[in-house]
């Protein structure tokens, strides 16, 4: 796989315009995994945004918590490593935010559900 990847990069390298060279040659640019890993991780953000329309009772609190915590940890890490990876930072901030939003929805739903139970108890 790495031979194929290097061959493709070698071919594409000849066609990269001079204006795009700084991005292309960057230590976290498209020639490295530091670019492609965050690019693939945007699928988690897209999935999280798709879950906004999902009924709250179907959300997994454990999954949203894990993704939110992971997003926060990796956001910090992406600014500590050398070279700083701002694309990794951006995607992880969005992963954290979308899942914190989902957790907020779940918390609100559970709070309202508990309030309804208490109201029914007092009404009897």
On whether both 75 and 115 belong to a single domain, the answer is yes
Number of domains in the chain: 2
pLDDT digits (tens, 9 = 90+) for 61-115: 999 999 999 999 999 999 998 888 899 999 999 999 999 999 999 999 999 999 9
On whether both 72 and 101 belong to a single domain, the answer is yes
Rounded to 5°, the CA angle 11-15-16 comes to: 115
On whether both 20 and 36 belong to a single domain, the answer is no
On whether both 60 and 87 belong to a single domain, the answer is yes
pTM of this structure: 0.78
On whether both 45 and 1 belong to a single domain, the answer is no
């Amino acid at each position: 796989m790495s031979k194929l990847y290097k061959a493709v990069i070698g071919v594409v390298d000849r066609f990269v315009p001079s204006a795009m060279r700084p991005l292309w040659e960057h230590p976290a640019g498209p020639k490295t995994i530091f670019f492609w890993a965050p690019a693939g991780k945007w699928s988690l953000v897209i999935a999280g945004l798709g879950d906004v329309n999902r009924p709250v009772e179907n959300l997994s609190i454990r999954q949203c918590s894990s993704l939110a915590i992971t997003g926060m940890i990796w956001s910090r890490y992406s600014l500590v490593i050398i070279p700083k990876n701002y694309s990794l930072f951006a995607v992880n901030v969005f992963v954290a935010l979308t899942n914190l939003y989902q957790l907020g929805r779940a918390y609100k739903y559970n709070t309202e559900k508990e309030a309804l139970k208490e109201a029914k108890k007092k009404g009897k």
